[in-house]
Structure 1
Amino acid sequence: MRDAQSFDELYRGTARRLLRYGYAVTGDHTEAQDLVQEAVGAEPHRTATGRPGAE
């Protein structure tokens, strides 16, 4: 994801599913939100290869 608009579209399309999955894993809504925030927050730092800092 190289631009903010693409990332926003991805997030809007997957956020609910990610929260449900996080809740299924943790059994806690707050923990599920934290998991999603950590996972989504890490994504903008990745490059097209999927590895941080790689081109």
Structure 2
Amino acid sequence: MALRRPVPPGQCRQCWTHAYDPDIHRRLRPGQDCQPCLDHMGGNHGSQIVPKKASSWW
């Protein structure tokens, strides 16, 4: 069963999903790394960042 938490603004969709959905990593053997997680460790999020709302204090 996948957890359905909405991705908060300013966060990467892929990183957030991999952090909060245990089903994604269930298929990995002990000691095996998740390649999408390793790819994102360097900060290469591309266009997967959820945009923040524009500030409206003016």
TM-score calculated relative to the size of structure 1: 0.36
Q: Which has the larger radius of gyration?
A: 2
TM-score calculated relative to the size of structure 2: 0.36
Larger fraction in helix: 1
The higher-RCO structure (CA 8 Å, 6+ apart) is 2
